[in-house]
Structure 1
Amino acid sequence: MKTKLQLLLALLFPFLLFAQDVSLQSFATGFSRPVDIKHANDSRLFVVEQDGLIKIVSAAGITNPTPFLNIDARVRSTGNEQGLLGLVFDPNYTTNNRFYVNYINNSGNTVIARFTTSVDPNVADDTSEEILLTVNQPYTNHNGGSLAFGTDGYLYIALGDGGSGGDPDNYAQNLQSYLGKILRIDVSGAMGYTVPTTNPFVGNPAGLDEIWSYGLRNPWKMSFDSDNGELWIGDVGQNNREEINNVPIVNAGYNFGWKCYEGNSTFDTTDCPAMSTITFPVGEYNYGGNPFRCSITGGYRYRGTMYPDLQGLYFFADYCTSEIGTLTPSGGSWNMTFNGPFSGNIATFGEDMNKELYAAGLLNGIIYKVVDTTLSIDENSLADNFQIYPNPTNDFFQINNQNVALQIKEVALYSFSGKLISTTRISTENQKIMTDQLSKGIYIVQIISNNDTSAYHKLVKN
């Protein structure tokens, strides 16, 4: 049930919030080449390190000293795009303790494997590995690596075109190869996997049963929109376009066009199907330029509650500039903007259980929280009688009462989602309200006067 405050905020925000100012706040540090961030439907974040470790970070940003999983000895990470690349938890993880990883083995090939957690929920059983699928990789790059469960309960696996440049062996359009594809399998059984009967090539010798869609170069991060179930893919370009694909999963057999097309541009249409059969991207940007953009990192559509301005935006990044990009829906199309640049070479995004977004810097080893720093409430129109200062704040704030007929009786502090954090009885004018114990973020201050009327302000904690 929504609180009275939540209902009031829902009415106020459409008129009070005008634009987003996306930024990154340091959340946890000390990681070695983080390439994936996932949650297990609890307060923990699981950070995947490319060399073969998965570490747990608490809601307070503290990293457990013991890794959740260490398979460093099984993982080849000598190539820049090799390593432990993807993680996802089973939809029934709370009861079956199963999770899945995507890594490059010591032979240089992709392995999709299932593990289980030990009796300690913070430590996996590294002896429990069951290899579900191995895919030969002809080169060291373009391995893809993402894993995600769709709303249909099936496991989706993103694989690149096998590497080199220009897909020399045309793997992405070859339906007898797993490379350059999104695979879909059913892992709900006790062992192994089965193929969903709705996969497009089941019973059709033209294509492999596991293929769900094809025509991808190097899908570096895919995710499902938790609101409508649609799939989002960031596909790294050759030397012209970086692209973003978005499709519903009620259909299958999408051809995303590579290497016939790079984004919306022609690349090599020799022996290619009709242009009308290609699913073109919903967003693209140029490779190169100033600043020099080079490689897209796919992300998520924001569905959290802390930052209403960001609701429905699709977030992605460019690896070279560490800019955070967004796609905003607009009349059936999408508007692209860039924020930053930031630092660390953003290599992945992740969601927590509340659908708040995080990003990871590959080179600086920092896990960031994605935040909206806009403070766009017009203080006078919202609460003419009171002003909050300093805002943004660090350790405390005070309230300036501009109406001598009113006295402040109490100040309540809420999280942005409407959860009550504290109440303070006001006994003196300009009394300090401490914020030194608060995490960085945006809060709502309720000012209650002696006639029991309330005013609301948004407060930013740095």
Structure 2
Amino acid sequence: VAIYRNGEVFIRNELSTGVAERSFFFGNPGDRPFAGDFDGDGIDSVGLYRESTGLVYFRNPLDSGVAEFEFFYGAPSDRIVAGDWNGNGSDSVAIFRPSDAQFYFSFENVQQEADVVLRFGSGSWWPVAGDVGEPRGLPDVAYQEIASGFSSPLFLTAPEGDRRLFVVEKAGRIIQIAADGSRSTFFDMSAIVASGGEGGLLGLAFHPAFGENQLFYVHYTEGTDERVERTVVREYRLTEFGPSSTRILLQVDQPATNHNGGMLQFGPDGFLYLGLGDGGGGNDPFGNGQNQNTLLGGIVRIDVASGSSSLWAYGLRNPWRFDFDGDSIYIGDVGQSAWEEVSVGQEGDNFGWPVFEGFQCRLGSACEGLNATPPIRAMANPDEGRSVTGGYVYRGSEIPGLQGTFLYSDFVSGYLRGFRLDNGQVVAERDWTSTAGQLASVSSFGEDGFGELYVLSFDGKIRKLVAG
């Protein structure tokens, strides 16, 4: 917020009680202040309107000084307001004339006739401006097949800014796709991966400084093809002779053969995050979901510098895929028999399993007083799906209207859906299945080094999301 007092501007960037963080003189007592991004640089500055003369004064630097430019607009006693009236990214002025209750909009900050005139309100009203329209909808998207012939592809990723794609196959191979489309085996660790059932090579993450240190991390299951015994997170360094194991960061014993989780991703804080299921079986028989003394049934934070790990969030059944967007984590949690979930949360959150499944209380009185984070979306099983596949928040550049949208699917239903949040509330949502097409056995989404998204399925194909 800012205030204007006797020719002095006081600015406070935090929305809390306190003193001004900066102040400067501009104009004369009695001038009417207004604010806007007048040069399109993404930063607001201060303008003044002198009602006695109808002169508009602009100064872009937030410091004392004379106006950088000025022009006449309107007439004495008009009331000033500023906004991006034509959606070009820069604010311009408008005046409200009390004598006729009309707005006079200018699309440029120059002396000219109004571009648009409209009547609204009464002469005693005071004008304000803001983005109060309906949130923008989500654009059309489509699938573009870019590769095929993979064996049970489970994941796709790439180092930031790298034009290669790295495809993870369930049995333990990582296939590299070069920018020209040619393929080669980046790493084959199938000899140590137990890939039966829900096991396999489940996750891959490149160190944020991969270009300098050549470190990458894998999450896989050990045991036999009949029995998963443990999940492992291991660090490798790429050398001139190929990947070389440096250390095991984490081993977690698995009491059953399913609910192994899978996702491995570096968060915005530089820590490595892992999704682990509740240990398997129906109805959380080992009691791990609400047990904060185990890593099972939670999101695990790993400090790759020290090798230490800790429980970051809990109350999850099988968080197969997740994605960070800022400090928030978007999780696709595979349900049991009633609901599939997409949840959004932060550090320390309890997502409710097994007390809750979706929005549904499962354990009677245990639900009372449990501070559980409810899902953003819960999909009925079997009507809407049986195994949710989340998902990424789109932060690429090729589909601008999709910015900030979380996209997800279901391994069984094969739909393509997405939503965008604002302050924790869904403000836009869409199901593209009827236009983009329904896929079979959607195993994962993936993100390339530039934020563009891909969909993987057990038909062995990799499809890129493109503008529809």
Question: If the TM-score is normalised by the length of the shorter chain, which range does it land in?
Answer: 0.5 to 0.7
Asked if the contact 1:283–1:336 (Cα under 8 Å) also holds between the matched residues in 2, the reply is no
**Counterpart residue identity of residue 296, structure 1:** V
Q: What does 1:345-384 align with in structure 2 at a 5 Å threshold?
A: 345-361=441-457, 363-373=458-468
**Counterpart residue identity of residue 159, structure 2:** A
Distance 1:52 1:28 in 2: 19
1:69 equivalent to 2:161? Answer no
Alignment correspondent of 2:278: 161
Residue 46 of structure 1, CA deviation: 0.7
**With structure 1 as the length reference, what TM-score do the two structures score?**
0.68
Larger Rg: 2
Residue 272 of structure 1, CA deviation: 5.5
Identity of aligned residues (%): 39
Quote the RMSD (CA, aligned, Å). Answer: 2.4
1:94 is paired with a residue of what secondary structure? helix
Residue 307 of structure 1, CA deviation: 0.8
Residue 213 of structure 1, CA deviation: 0.9
Alignment correspondent of 1:278: 372
Q: What does 1:173-322 align with in structure 2 at a 5 Å threshold?
A: 173-189=290-306, 193-195=307-309, 210-225=310-325, 228-248=326-346, 252-269=347-364, 271=366, 274-275=369-370, 277-289=371-383, 293-322=385-414
Distance 2:250 2:317 in 1: 20
1:232 is paired with a residue of what secondary structure? strand
**Counterpart residue identity of residue 360, structure 2:** S
1:82 equivalent to 2:223? Answer no
Residue 18 of structure 1, CA deviation: 6.2
Q: What does 1:315-354 align with in structure 2 at a 5 Å threshold?
A: 315-329=407-421, 332-334=424-426, 335-340=428-433, 341-354=437-450
2:247 is paired with a residue of what secondary structure? strand
**Counterpart residue identity of residue 145, structure 1:** G
Residue 105 of structure 1, CA deviation: 0.6
Change (3 A) 1:173 1:273: farther
1:299 is paired with a residue of what secondary structure? strand
Residue 339 of structure 1, CA deviation: 2.0
Q: What does 1:384-403 align with in structure 2 at a 5 Å threshold?
A: none
Asked if the contact 1:261–1:269 (Cα under 8 Å) also holds between the matched residues in 2, the reply is no
Distance 2:235 2:246 in 1: 6
Distance 1:89 1:158 in 2: 16
1:105 equivalent to 2:222? Answer yes
1:105 is paired with a residue of what secondary structure? strand
Change (3 A) 1:11 1:221: same
Alignment correspondent of 2:248: 131
Residue 337 of structure 1, CA deviation: 3.0
Asked if the contact 1:302–1:313 (Cα under 8 Å) also holds between the matched residues in 2, the reply is yes
Render the CA deviation track for 1:117-162: whole Å, top value 9, x for unaligned: 1216xx423xx25212111111111100111111111111110011
Distance 1:284 1:101 in 2: 30
Residue 21 of structure 1, CA deviation: 2.0
Asked if the contact 2:277–2:296 (Cα under 8 Å) also holds between the matched residues in 1, the reply is yes
Asked if the contact 1:309–1:372 (Cα under 8 Å) also holds between the matched residues in 2, the reply is no
Distance 2:155 2:365 in 1: 36
Distance 1:82 1:302 in 2: 28
2:460 is paired with a residue of what secondary structure? coil
Asked if the contact 2:350–2:373 (Cα under 8 Å) also holds between the matched residues in 1, the reply is yes
Asked if the contact 2:412–2:440 (Cα under 8 Å) also holds between the matched residues in 1, the reply is no
Say which structure is richer in strand.
2
Matching residue within 127, 130, 141 for 1:22: 141
User: Would you say how many aligned residue pairs link Structure 1 and Structure 2?
Assistant: 331
Residue 270 of structure 1, CA deviation: 5.8
Residue 310 of structure 1, CA deviation: 1.2
2:379 is paired with a residue of what secondary structure? strand
Matching residue within 268, 271, 275 for 1:151: 268
1:298 is paired with a residue of what secondary structure? strand
Distance 1:236 1:18 in 2: 28
Distance 1:266 1:18 in 2: 33
1:274 is paired with a residue of what secondary structure? coil
Alignment correspondent of 1:48: 168
